[in-house]
Chains A and B, each alone.
Chain A
Amino acid sequence: MQTTKEMLMNKSKFRRPDAMDRRGFLKGLLAAGAAAALPGGLLTARNATAAPFDPGAYQVFRNACPRNCYDTCSIKTYVRDGIVQFVEGAPESTFTKGALCVKGYTYPRRLYSPDRIKYPMIQDKRGSGNWRRISWDEAMDRIADKILEIKKRDGSLLGLGLTKYSGNFGITNYGVEGMMSSLGYTTRFVGTPCWPAGIDAQNYDLGDMWCNDPEDFVKAKYIIVWGGNPAWCSMHSMKYLYQARENGAKIVVIDPVFTQTAAKADMYWRVKPGTDGALALGMARHLLDKGLVNQDFVNNYAVGYAEFADYLRQNVTVDWASEISGIPAEDIRSLAEEFAAAKPATVWIGYGMQRHTNGGAMVRAIDAFVAMTGNIGVEGGGARYGQMRTWGFNYHAMIRKQPEGSIGFVGATGPKGEFDFAGESGTAYSDRALNINKTAQEILDAKDPELKMLWVSCKNPFAQDFDRNKLEKAFARLEMVVTVDQFFNETVQHSDIVLPVTTLFEEWTVNVSYWHYWLSLNEQAVKPMHEARSNIEIAAALSRAMNKKAPGSCTFPQEVDGREWMIKEFNKGVYDYFGISSWEELRNGPVKAKLSSSAAWNERVFMTPSGKYEFRSDLCAQNGFKALPEYVPGREATAPFRLLTPHVQFGLHSQFVNLDWMENFYPEPFVYIHPDAAEAKGIRDMDSVRVFNSTGEVKVRARLTSNVARNCVVMYEAWFRRLAFNVQNVVDDCAADMGAMKTGAPGVAIHDQFVDIAPAG
């Protein structure tokens, strides 16, 4: 014993005396019959031996990143002793190609963070910070009591609302919507803060949002990345752009900000925000003037071209486009000529484009420019925005029947969404749809009945919804807020009950992208930590509580098996589309859709009412917009600086930036301002400043850079666990033009925001 003790003393300089040799006593305890099983191998200090890395020493599981991201990476997870050791990109996917991103590599930190929400907890008085731990049963009893009380008071469950969006796109997580349906007709926050204006625009033009396989960028000879920053937001796509350039393509980036993608381009255009439509129309006019229009396409595969050409002749000149957009006329002309001459040529319409009051109109103008060059339906060509072709699952978790006799909303068709696959129900009642982009106002305005209870899942409204100050007032109206999450964010702070939800490593599901064409299995790699449960397990638990108190009050199954429910999402259509015969093949790695062509619309049969590409869309006119892709001016400035709040590469909306490893690389947010503008305001580099408007204020330090224009400031949206930083303090809920047709609500003009800036006193 003395010798062991001495050894311990000698080891004391190390922080891990825990790694001392325990072989002796472990065996002793075992030999004496007190034990049941021999424990696994003992540990050695890191790097103590130079043995080659042995992948065979791990159990490898298949996972998929379920965040709202183009790239939706396929992940390989290495597990030892039932513990996730590290993760890497799946090499089987040519898109992921073995590499995750800076966010993906932090996933083990999320799983094992000491700060994870571990148990169901209840807050005595919302916002007090006085939390008590409760059992799942007690949490569900309280929630079920409240739901039944609302039903009794109102005669319906329209006082119960759900707000959910893109925190976890794993298909079984649509079980949250299923849970709501299984309770009755409820209130849903519909639409999306992201891409709806562009979805509708492409639906008017093409009949659907459908893009080429991004891996076919390598076939392009000319690429315009327009209003997107893939170097940060789709970094796996960059390798295809590089390869295209190595094959001789030219890469042009058009963006108000000199982005990281712009720095990698052959040419960068700084366009005035919100004038991209004018720019596209100016280029279209030049095609017309120069006789560069692809007559085969506009005559044989399109309708309304003659009217559009008339519009261009009468209303658009290159000089006019130059005046509006700030791009010199000769550059507009030469780019239009180069684009028309390159075969094939393509535009990637990024998700910055549609976040304007004229966003849908701008997307339509760009679509029209690409269509005039005959690049629609061409491999390596296309006006690329996104696709939902790979999403043909059963939505078994989502599609649930209301209990018999449920009363709902009368007179509307009910909520829609780009991920809503339930279709029309044909019943007398429906859910009540409120606009997700006006969450605060809609809560304040909801009447007959008022919204009394809100369920929040896969979403952090306080970080992502607009006009944070108003949201605070709106939440004060609610009688109960239940939030399902992994970390203690501002929304949890404003909740009564918080429920811990599983990470990707702890649940079964299946994932696809809205950009690439790969399908990934997400296996449960480890058993859930603490008392975390998946969204469908939570739904089952609620169903048990509801049915115990009021039999028949909830149709959601009372027991679910995550693996079984993942399997139930598959069907023959999915199997055929991806060329597999069983989901189990996905255990060997992700698979790609068996596409007859890498081009969308390769048969040039469109899903519009005419079956052709519609330069003139009567449907668009019926919905209150121009039939032609005409120029629509943007939102009037209300303060000296335009504010842009795009994505940063270190986070995805309010996720990832709170993790300790990420704090290494991204410890602090900034407002980026042009040096000339800063000088005029008396702001030096790294000064603390106030960014403010009539909606609210953000305090942050300034970084001076000519990457932004003189009349523009940029703050990247993120949630920092230790900072009060929140860009939504100064972003209002002004709507974008389009989006209501396909997603149930118009988009939101996130990039049509205006602020002033001053040194912080």
Chain B
Amino acid sequence: MNKRYAFLMNADKCIGCRGCAMACKNFNRLEPSMVWRQVYPLAESIYPHRERAFYSLACNHCDDPACLRACPTGSYEKREDGIVVHHQETCIGCTNCVRSCPYGAPRYNAEEKHAEKCSMCRERIDAGLLPACVQACPVGALELVDLNTLNEPNAVQFPAGYPSMPRLNPATRFILPRMPRQIRGQS
């Protein structure tokens, strides 16, 4: 059976350190203004403490990628293992993909005049290595998993604050953050 690679984003473990996002820039040598992975603090309506719980998001490597359908030059490729690859060399920078992705994964690089996005470090996966972001997570909050064999009963596909797009069927799975019991001494 084929693999279907995905990111498992464990928001219970995530400490919002941004190491994943910086490791992505470091390995892929992104321009200062470009990010392929970003760490988003959850709104206080979802997690009541400001900037204390996060989703680390990059491309979700959808089953039926909107970017791929929107691209007029065939610059997107869906690999058998689920990874959605963008080919910068044929991209004409029309930004159809940027506008069609509900998760904001492809971004327009104004300097280079093309779109770009996370490729799940396929060149690393193909060499038997982990994606740079996964390797960089110091707490195991970001994992590379195979959805076809994933056995994680707490994993959810569409947590609060993350657009629910069943037709695209994004591969990313989430584990929700905990809330500690609190004793707040009064001043």
Binding site for B on A (CB under 8 A): 13-15, 45-48, 50-55, 85-89, 97-102, 105-106, 108, 231-232, 235-236, 238-239, 242, 253, 258, 260-272, 325-328, 331, 649-650, 660-661, 663-665, 703-707, 709-712
List the B side residues contacting A51 at CB < 8 Å: 123
Query: B49 near A: Cβ within 8 Å?
Result: yes
> Chain A: which residue is nearest B47 at the CB level?
A263
In whole angstroms, how far apart are the Cα atoms of A85 and B15 in the complex?
27
| Given A15-B112, A239-B140, 6 new contacts (CB under 8 A) | A88-B136, A106-B26, A258-B182, A650-B18, A661-B32, A704-B50
**Contact pick for B29, options A54, A86, A663, CB 8 Å:** A86
Query: By the criterion CB–CB under 8 Å, are A242 and B13 in contact?
Result: yes
In whole angstroms, how far apart are the Cα atoms of A378 and B56 in the complex?
38
Query: By the criterion CB–CB under 8 Å, are B185 and A102 in contact?
Result: no
> Chain B: which residue is nearest A660 at the CB level?
B32
Q: Which of B17, B25, B111, B185 has the most CB of A within 10 A?
A: B185
Query: By the criterion CB–CB under 8 Å, are A263 and B19 in contact?
Result: no
Query: B119 near A: Cβ within 8 Å?
Result: yes
CB-CB under 8 A for A268 and B183, given A13-B113, A235-B19: yes
List the B side residues contacting A263 at CB < 8 Å: 49, 52-53, 177, 180
Query: By the criterion CB–CB under 8 Å, are A53 and B127 in contact?
Result: yes
Interface residues of B in 73-102 (CB under 8 A from A): 85-89
Query: By the criterion CB–CB under 8 Å, are A270 and B126 in contact?
Result: no
CB-CB under 8 A for A327 and B185, given A99-B135, A99-B138: yes
List the B side residues contacting A271 at CB < 8 Å: 185
**Contact pick for A706, options B17, B49, B127, B178, CB 8 Å:** B49
Query: B68 near A: Cβ within 8 Å?
Result: no
In whole angstroms, how far apart are the Cα atoms of A47 and B75 in the complex?
12
List the A side residues contacting B87 at CB < 8 Å: 47
List the A side residues contacting B3 at CB < 8 Å: none
**Contact pick for A47, options B12, B88, B138, B181, CB 8 Å:** B88
Binding site for A on B (CB under 8 A): 12-13, 15-19, 21-23, 25-29, 32-33, 35, 39, 49-53, 85-89, 111-113, 116, 119, 121-124, 126-127, 129, 132, 135-140, 177-178, 180-187
Quote the shortest CB–CB distance from B127 to chain A (angstroms): 4
Query: By the criterion CB–CB under 8 Å, are B184 and A270 in contact?
Result: yes
Q: Which of A87, A88, A707 has the most CB of B within 10 A?
A: A88
CB-CB under 8 A for A101 and B32, given A239-B139, A703-B50, A712-B187: no
CB-CB under 8 A for A272 and B15, given A99-B138, A265-B180, A707-B49: no
> Chain B: which residue is nearest A279 at the CB level?
B185
In whole angstroms, how far apart are the Cα atoms of A705 and B132 in the complex?
33
**Contact pick for A99, options B19, B50, B126, B178, CB 8 Å:** B19
In whole angstroms, how far apart are the Cα atoms of A55 and B85 in the complex?
21
In whole angstroms, how far apart are the Cα atoms of A258 and B138 in the complex?
21
**Contact pick for A53, options B32, B129, B182, CB 8 Å:** B129
List the B side residues contacting A98 at CB < 8 Å: 135-136
Query: By the criterion CB–CB under 8 Å, are A242 and B140 in contact?
Result: yes
CB-CB under 8 A for A47 and B49, given A266-B180, A326-B186: no
List the B side residues contacting A262 at CB < 8 Å: 52, 180
> Chain A: which residue is nearest B140 at the CB level?
A239
CB-CB under 8 A for A54 and B138, given A101-B17, A263-B180, A665-B18: no
What are the 6 tightest A-B residue pairs by CB atom distance, in nearest-first order? A326-B185, A52-B126, A231-B15, A105-B22, A263-B52, A52-B127
> Chain A: which residue is nearest B182 at the CB level?
A268
Query: By the criterion CB–CB under 8 Å, are A101 and B19 in contact?
Result: yes
In whole angstroms, how far apart are the Cα atoms of A271 and B15 in the complex?
22
Quote the shortest CB–CB distance from A228 to chain B (angstroms): 13
In whole angstroms, how far apart are the Cα atoms of A271 and B124 in the complex?
46
> Chain A: which residue is nearest B181 at the CB level?
A267
Quote the shortest CB–CB distance from B88 to chain A (angstroms): 5
List the A side residues contacting B123 at CB < 8 Å: 50-53
Query: By the criterion CB–CB under 8 Å, are B126 and A15 in contact?
Result: no
Sample of 21 A–B contacts (CB below 8 Å): A46-B88, A47-B86, A47-B116, A52-B127, A53-B123, A102-B19, A105-B25, A231-B15, A235-B19, A235-B138, A235-B139, A238-B138, A253-B180, A270-B185, A326-B187, A649-B17, A661-B25, A663-B32, A705-B51, A709-B187, A710-B187
What secondary structure prevails in chain B residues at the interface with A? loop
> Chain B: which residue is nearest A674 at the CB level?
B187
**Contact pick for B22, options A13, A14, A106, A326, CB 8 Å:** A106
> Chain A: which residue is nearest B22 at the CB level?
A105
CB-CB under 8 A for A50 and B26, given A326-B185, A710-B187: no
Quote the shortest CB–CB distance from A450 to chain B (angstroms): 45
**Contact pick for A331, options B16, B23, B29, B183, CB 8 Å:** B183
List the A side residues contacting B180 at CB < 8 Å: 253, 262-268
Query: By the criterion CB–CB under 8 Å, are B111 and A100 in contact?
Result: no
Q: Which of A15, A106, A268, A664 has the most CB of B within 10 A?
A: A664
Quote the shortest CB–CB distance from B1 to chain A (angstroms): 22
CB-CB under 8 A for A88 and B181, given A51-B123, A106-B26: no
**Contact pick for A89, options B39, B127, B136, B177, CB 8 Å:** B136
> Chain A: which residue is nearest B34 at the CB level?
A664
In whole angstroms, how far apart are the Cα atoms of A87 and B13 in the complex?
24
Quote the shortest CB–CB distance from A251 to chain B (angstroms): 8
List the A side residues contacting B17 at CB < 8 Å: 101-102, 231-232, 235, 649
In whole angstroms, how far apart are the Cα atoms of A87 and B136 in the complex?
11
Query: By the criterion CB–CB under 8 Å, are B52 and A258 in contact?
Result: yes
List the A side residues contacting B50 at CB < 8 Å: 703-707
Query: By the criterion CB–CB under 8 Å, are B181 and A266 in contact?
Result: yes
CB-CB under 8 A for A260 and B15, given A236-B138, A660-B32, A664-B33: yes
In whole angstroms, how far apart are the Cα atoms of A15 and B110 in the complex?
10
Query: By the criterion CB–CB under 8 Å, are A86 and B18 in contact?
Result: no
Q: Which of B12, B16, B121 has the most CB of A within 10 A?
A: B16
Quote the shortest CB–CB distance from B181 to chain A (angstroms): 5
In whole angstroms, how far apart are the Cα atoms of A453 and B122 in the complex?
56
In whole angstroms, how far apart are the Cα atoms of A260 and B52 in the complex?
6
List the A side residues contacting B35 at CB < 8 Å: 664
List the B side residues contacting A663 at CB < 8 Å: 32
Quote the shortest CB–CB distance from B178 to chain A (angstroms): 7
Query: By the criterion CB–CB under 8 Å, are B26 and A86 in contact?
Result: yes
Query: By the criterion CB–CB under 8 Å, are A99 and B137 in contact?
Result: yes
Q: Which of A232, A258, A272 has the most CB of B within 10 A?
A: A258
List the B side residues contacting A272 at CB < 8 Å: 185, 187
List the A side residues contacting B116 at CB < 8 Å: 47
In whole angstroms, how far apart are the Cα atoms of A660 and B185 in the complex?
40
Quote the shortest CB–CB distance from B17 to chain A (angstroms): 5
In whole angstroms, how far apart are the Cα atoms of A99 and B24 in the complex?
12
Query: By the criterion CB–CB under 8 Å, are B25 and A267 in contact?
Result: no
Query: By the criterion CB–CB under 8 Å, are A48 and B181 in contact?
Result: no
In whole angstroms, how far apart are the Cα atoms of A315 and B153 in the complex?
52
In whole angstroms, how far apart are the Cα atoms of A13 and B89 in the complex?
12
In whole angstroms, how far apart are the Cα atoms of A364 and B96 in the complex?
63
List the A side residues contacting B26 at CB < 8 Å: 86-88, 105-106, 108
List the B side residues contacting A231 at CB < 8 Å: 15-17
Q: Which of B21, B25, B137, B180 has the most CB of A within 10 A?
A: B180
CB-CB under 8 A for A48 and B88, given A55-B127, A105-B136, A665-B18: yes
> Chain B: which residue is nearest A44 at the CB level?
B89
In whole angstroms, how far apart are the Cα atoms of A48 and B88 in the complex?
7
List the A side residues contacting B132 at CB < 8 Å: 88
List the B side residues contacting A88 at CB < 8 Å: 23, 26-27, 132, 135-136
Quote the shortest CB–CB distance from B133 to chain A (angstroms): 10
List the A side residues contacting B52 at CB < 8 Å: 258, 260, 262-263, 707
Query: By the criterion CB–CB under 8 Å, are A48 and B89 in contact?
Result: yes
In whole angstroms, how far apart are the Cα atoms of A87 and B49 in the complex?
34
Quote the shortest CB–CB distance from A455 to chain B (angstroms): 34
**Contact pick for A649, options B18, B27, B119, B181, CB 8 Å:** B18
In whole angstroms, how far apart are the Cα atoms of A242 and B12 in the complex?
10
CB-CB under 8 A for A267 and B182, given A242-B13, A712-B187: yes
